[in-house]
Each structure stands twice: as C-alpha cells, then as structure tokens.
Amino acid sequence: MSGKLSLTFDDGPDPVWTPRVLDVLEEVGVRATFFVVATLAERHPSLLRRASGAGHEIALHCTRHLRHDRMTASEIYADAEKGLRVLGKLGHDAGDWRTPWGVVTGGTKKAAEDLGLRLVGWTADSEDWRGEPSKVMLSRLAPGIGPGGVVLMHDGVGPGSLRDGCGETVELLAPLVSLCRSRDLEPVPLGELSGVLPDRNPGPVAGV
Ligand SMILES: [Zn+2]
C-alpha cells in the first residue's frame, strides 16, 4: 500500500522563486502546501491564484515574520487574524498555520483555537536557508522521508536566511519527488494527509 507525505514551502510568495517552484511541481505532477506571508501575498496575488488554481494549498505563515516567544498573546492573535483577512480578501480560505521558525507559545495555541486554524510544524527539514547544494539537502532529508512526513522548504528568502535565492530548492524538488515515489510515497497537500501532524518545530529553532 502506498503512503502519503506533504511538501511544504514557507516565506513566499516570491516573484522570482515561487513561479520556478510551481513550474517544477507541475512538471512532476505534485501538489503541495504554501505557508505564505500575508504582506507578500497582497503584493503578488497572481502567484497565489496560480498556485491555488493548480491545486496547491494556500496556508498562513504570518503577517509580520516575528518569533511568537517575543510577542504578546494579543499581538499573535492580531497578526494571524490580519493575515487571514488579507488572504480571505484574495479569495483564499487558509485553514493551516505554520508560525515563523515554528515557534509555538500558549498565545499561539489560543489564537489558533479562536481562529479555527490548525498548527502544522514539520518532520523533515531541508534547512535550505543555509544555501547548501541540493544534493546535500537531499541526503539530509532522505532518512526522514516516510509516510505522514511533512517536509519543510522555502520559496522565498526570509529573515535569517544565509542565501540570496532559492535556486537550490528548485533543484531539489524533482530528485526529492523521485525519492518519495521510490519509497511508494505520494506527496499531497496537508489537507489530504491523514493522521496526527506535528504541530511545531521538532528541534532547536534555527534559520527561517
Ligand atoms: Zn518563515
């Protein structure tokens, strides 16, 4: 029996890198989940329309890319609520939420509950923000590619990133999808992944 896992992208949409990520996903026939920054979504609505039209899931990352452990509960709520409003105005009804750096506090959980959002972390981290070659990232990810997995990548250059573009993430995608399929795993958007999902960053906070 084949299993499922999800490929996820944070920090977009980006006018240069998001289209290239979408191109590769289209070539390999994979739908993914994009955790978007609301201010960027507002600036590049056509990228979200393209992603959503291709069957990708639009989810919430943030309005301002800040760590929740340095925000009050009401600031966290306001940030998420504004992000949802912006996405809603653009026609996207986000149900999943990954916070900046996967930091989750009591205030985050309360805001998620109040806004009807599901918090989603990851199980396998490409650490693509480091700027390493795609082959290094593929080796890093390989042990964690299994059923129910949630793979973290970035289609934008967020704060703290050590690279100035997402070219290696674009390069990573086709080999990563091949690896998944060689293990009888099909990537699907998070909304189609059954079972319990990780709700936060599984390890020490790093990168973007
Ligand atoms: Zn981020």
pLDDT in tens, 80-124: 999 999 999 999 999 999 999 999 999 999 999 999 999 999 999
Q: What is the mean pLDDT of the chain?
A: 94
Residue 196 pLDDT class (50, 70, 90 cuts): low
Given the residues 10, 11, 79, 96, select the one marked as catalytic.
10
Mark out the alpha helices in 33-149 (DSSP H runs).
Answer: 38-43, 45-53, 73-89, 106-115, 134-141
Q: Is 10 a catalytic residue?
A: yes
Mean pLDDT of 175-192: 97
CA of 1 to the centre of ligand 1 (A): 34
From the options 3.40.640.10, 3.20.20.370, 3.20.20.70, 1.20.1050.10, give the CATH code of 3-192: 3.20.20.370
Q: Is 150 left (phi over 0), alpha (psi -120 to 50) or beta?
A: beta
Tokens for 115?
Answer: 């806004």
* Domain spans of the chain, in order of start: 3-192
Where is pLDDT greater, at 158 or 83?
Answer: 83
Per residue in 29-65, pLDDT (tens digit) is: 999 999 999 999 999 999 999 999 999 999 999 999 9
Q: Is 128 a catalytic residue?
A: no
Amino acid code (one letter) for 10: D
Given the residues 44, 96, 154, 155, select the one marked as catalytic.
154
CA of 10 to the centre of ligand 1 (A): 5
Q: Is 115 helix (H, G, I), strand (E, B) or coil?
A: helix
Residue 202 pLDDT class (50, 70, 90 cuts): low
List the one residue out of 116, 124, 122, 110 whose CA is nearest residue 179.
124
